[in-house]
Amino acid sequence: MKHHTAMMFPRVLKIVQECGAMCEHMVSHFLCMPDARSRIHQIQLLRDCATICETLSCYIARRSVFAKAAANLCAYICEACGNECAKFADQESQMCSRMCLKCAQECRTFAA
């Protein structure tokens, strides 16, 4: 792998890790809320997003040959999660939506 290509990894890696951590945190946050039952789909997507972000960050860090394919899947899941979070008016959901959509865009750029 060329050195200049490896230098692009820290940006996408950082964003993917931040997105995964935020989604993991949001799951815990929303499970403690009284309206958790009305957020089942959101919570499921948050868990999926956190998991794929964690997986992708490992693939990127080890320069796996599957990193770009995983990035495409990550983009798809992050976008779905971001769109679901955008449906909720609370500040936490809106913040998470922005992070997920940003991560989706970074993953698409990385996979291209």
**pLDDT tens digits, 63-82:** 999 999 999 999 999 999 99
Query: What is the full DSSP assignment across 41-90?
Result: HHHHHHHHHHHHHHHHHHHHHTT-TTHHHHHHHHHHHHHHHHHHHHTS-S
**pLDDT tens digits, 11-30:** 899 999 999 999 999 999 99
pLDDT of 8 above 60: no
Name the one residue in this structure whose structure tokens are 């998470």: 96
Write down the domain spans for the chain. Answer: 11-28+39-111
Number of H helices, E strands in the chain: 5, 0
Pick the CATH number of 11-28+39-111 from 1.20.1260.10, 1.20.1270.360, 2.60.200.20, 1.10.1740.10: 1.20.1270.360
Separation between Cα atoms, residue 37 and residue 66, nearest integer Å = 36
Please state, in angstroms and as integers, the Cα–Cα distance from residue 80 to each residue in 31, 43, 90, following that order: 20, 12, 18
Please state, in angstroms and as integers, the Cα–Cα distance from residue 16 to each residue in 44, 73, 83, 108, following that order: 18, 12, 17, 12
Count of CB atoms within 10 A of residue 102's CB?
Answer: 15
Q: What is the pLDDT of residue 3?
A: 44
Grade residue 10 by pLDDT with cuts at 50, 70 and 90. Answer: confident
Provide the mean pLDDT of the chain. Answer: 92
